[in-house]
Amino acid sequence: MRFWVSWWGGAAGDCRPLLDDAETPAWGCSGERDTEPQFSLCAVIDASTEAQVWEQVKRCWPEYVQRFCERKPDGWRPGSRFTCIAKKLEARG
C-alpha cells in the first residue's frame, strides 16, 4: 500500500534524515516553524500498515511528531509542489 505522510521533525536547523540509504523514504521539506521539532516533512511511503509507515519515519527521524497519514492508490505520486519527492521515486524505479 502507498501512503502520503507528514510529520514535524528535524532539529538545530537540519531537516535531513539521521539515516540516508536505500530504505529512506522519498521525502521533502514543505515548511518550518519556530518551535522544535522545526520542519514540516512529508514523504511517500510504501508499507503494509500505518504502523510500518511510522516505523520507517522513526528509523530516519527518531524525534518526530505525526501530522497525517493518508492511504493513496498504488503508484500515486505527489503534485508539482513536491518535485524533489517525485524525482526520488523515479530514481528508485
pLDDT in tens, 7-45: 999 877 899 999 888 889 999 999 999 988 899 999 999
Amino acid (1-letter code) at residue 10: G
**Res. 56 pLDDT band, cuts 50 70 90:** very high
**pLDDT given for residue 10 in this prediction:** 87
Q: How far apart are CA 22 and CA 16, in angstroms?
A: 15
Does the pLDDT value for residue 93 go beyond 80?
A: no
Q: Can you tell me whether residue 22 is helix, strand or coil?
A: coil
Percent of the chain with pLDDT strictly greater than 90: 75
DSSP 82: G
Q: Is 9 exposed, middle or buried (0-12, 13-18, 19+ CB in 10 A)?
A: buried
DSSP 65: E
**Res. 50 pLDDT band, cuts 50 70 90:** very high
Q: How far apart are CA 26 and CA 84, in angstroms?
A: 8
Rg (CA), the chain: 12
CA of residue 3 relative to chain centroid, distance: 10
The pTM of this model reads 0.91
Instruction: Report the pLDDT averaged over residues 51-70.
Output: 96
